[in-house]
A and B are shown apart, each in its own frame.
Chain A
Amino acid sequence: MRLKTLALAFAAALLSTSAMVAPAQAQIEVDVNRGDVKPLPIAIPVFGGAQGAEIAQVIAGDLERSGLFAPINQAAYIEKNPDVNVQPRFADWKTINAQALVNGQATVEGGRLTVNFRLWDVYSEQPLLGLQFTTTPENWRKLAHKISDAVYERLTGEKGYFDTRIVFVSESGGRIDRKKQLAIMDQDGANPSYLTDGSYIVMTPRFSSSSQEITYMALRPEGSSIYLFNLESGRRETLGNFPGMVFAPRFSPDGARVAFSVERNGNSDIYVMDLRSRSSAKLTSDPSIETSPSFSPDGSRIVYNSDRGGTAQLYVMDANGGGGRRISFGSGRYTTPVWSPTGDFIAFTKQAGGQFHIGIMRPDGTDERLLTSSYMDEGPTWAPNGRVLMFSRETPGAGPRLWTVDVTGRILRAAPYPGSGSDPAWSPLQN
């Protein structure tokens, strides 16, 4: 239940050796917006020093799961342990068709783990990146994810998303009496832990921008409540008491407010509460269902779900409640809108033709694309780089599982969590 405080300071510094100056023009690049490109063959030999094998393995796992990279099996390597301070034998890496090479050296000194690593372009025989990260030895996985992020960013031009966590609802038991516990894990499924004991139903957790605070909804027979939960201190508090159901909580991008739905006499509307003053304002006042609010990354607008037009559709309003207008017009029902952290898309769940889809559209409603289709796909959440989504997928009669899909819809995979899970929420990049 208790989470260890992740008190760590990462020092990243470009090495000053002249060999490490990246060439003006990289020879290789990976386009995250074209999912049909063949994954880039990349070699990641065991790093030298403490936990070198595990660090290389975590990096390979991250890059492989992105679908953009194809790590080459270490057994095929001709040059076995390339020294990070020496030019690799490029011919050996060309022979096994590696286009990029990541090698590194870990050292532990004075209770600190330091890892130097290099990213090489095998064909142009140029170094693309040389960085050093330092942390405490028990945080070696986090350090490995930082390296994955650096490699991903250098080769794709987009920010990485590997040093992140997922908060979600872990499900167990039968369908009639399913146990639902709030859980958290690293993006790659490591370090899972429970945040609630399963004695009541939990749903729809969300991270604040600091990623140390979570808001979620708890449902008991007596009614619902919205909780704020601080991961660092373990402090848990409710948003307050309301006469009807409260649900669908989301932080504003600055973490100062929470938008949520309040139900009164069967009618659900969207409210926003200032967390410091605890004063709340009602943003919608239609006799229809208004729920699933999501702030734009600049905090100025909110996309939400309403059935005021007869069926569930997506609407965008100003963050103070004015100027609401519909943005979804396709056939079918649109729910669970989530504004991308990069602002360029809104992801949603669409129900049409007996199937459920995860889709994206521009904030003005144009350019709708359905990325997935199944019996039950629901509840997308964005990776912080706005290029990958996680959601839950249920097959008839079985518990839901976590899946990921990229914005092209071509890289669709089961997430690395072995159990049943729903309502995932992706953290921002960690510090």
Chain B
Amino acid sequence: MQSFNTKHALRLALVAAAALSVTACASRPKPGPAPEPAPPPAVAPTPTPTPAPAPSATVTPGTIQDFVVNVGERVFFDLDSYSVRADAAPLLDAQAAWLVRYPNVQVRIEGNADERGTREYNLALGSRRANSVREHLVSRGVAPSRISTVSFGKERPIDPGTTEEAFQQNRNARTAIVGGAQ
């Protein structure tokens, strides 16, 4: 009798579980994991960071830090555009001058796009932006063999926000030092 009762109860539990899960199936899937926290306020929406006015005394010339702090790695682009903007040209000129001064340095230019486009188109757009920067540096005397390019499309935003200011930050090309400097 005992075992019959247990069995019976078990079977009931199974039926109940099945009914429950059918109901779960039938209902709309839940929104899922908690939404990510709201993005922090956008960093300074200045489209083009101007190079620091005076070289920092604590930075050793010719290092990656020197390039990042005293020249600047990133230039920004207009929506769906890959032309180097007038306000970005001085920074690229400074990048080229720095690279001419340190001829062993190898760079990789990483093109980026904002999230308001589809994935593959944005990969192609990021490639165009990286190439525009490459052409600019080459036109200022940097050997093409020192420069590689890649596109991250919309995969690597630097600003997680969803405002126009954030999208502007994410339409950029970064000149990354990949060899020849510490």
Contacts and interface: CB of A to CB of B under 8 A. Distances in A.
Contacts of A413: 28-29
A60 B26 contact: yes
Contact of A418 (B22, B33, B158): B33
Most buried by A among B123, B125, B158, B162: B123
A397 B39 contact: yes
Interface in B1-58: 14-15, 18-19, 21-23, 25-26, 28-33, 35-36, 38-39
B140 interface: no
A289 B125 contact: yes
Given A176-B158, A219-B155, A245 B127 contact: yes
B23 A174 contact: no
B93 interface: no
Interface stretch (B69-77, B84-92, B111-119): B111-119
A397 to B, nearest CB: 5
Interface in B88-129: 108, 110, 115-121, 123-125, 127-128
A228 B59 CA distance: 46
A331 to B, nearest CB: 15
Given A378-B119, A398-B36, A399-B36, A73 B149 contact: no
A241 B22 CA distance: 50
B158 to A, nearest CB: 7
Contacts of B151: 224, 245, 263
B124 A263 contact: yes
A71 interface: yes
Contacts of A60: 22, 25-26
A54 interface: yes
A420 B32 contact: yes
Given A53-B18, A176-B157, A414-B29, A73 B152 contact: no
A210 interface: no
Contact of B127 (A74, A266, A312): A266
Nearest to A350: B118
Contacts, number: 160
B36 to A, nearest CB: 6
Nearest to A65: B25
Contacts of B62: none
B33 A245 contact: no
Contacts of B158: 176
Contacts of A223: 148, 150
Nearest to A375: B162
A289 B113 CA distance: 14
A57 B18 contact: yes
A399 B162 CA distance: 12
B120 A221 contact: no
B115 A376 contact: yes
Interface in A261-300: 261, 263, 265-268, 289, 291-292
B175 interface: no
Contacts of B31: 414
Interface string A410-424: 000111111110110
Contacts of B121: 289, 291-292, 305, 307, 312, 335-336
Given A54-B18, A416-B25, 8 more contacts: A57-B25, A176-B156, A244-B149, A376-B116, A378-B118, A397-B39, A414-B29, A420-B33
29 contacts: A57-B22, A60-B22, A61-B26, A73-B22, A73-B23, A74-B22, A75-B19, A221-B110, A245-B151, A247-B124, A267-B128, A267-B131, A268-B124, A292-B120, A305-B120, A307-B121, A335-B120, A336-B121, A351-B116, A376-B115, A378-B118, A379-B119, A395-B35, A396-B162, A397-B162, A398-B36, A418-B32, A419-B33, A420-B32
Closest 10 CB pairs of A and B: A266-B131, A61-B25, A175-B160, A396-B162, A268-B124, A289-B124, A335-B118, A53-B18, A266-B128, A263-B127
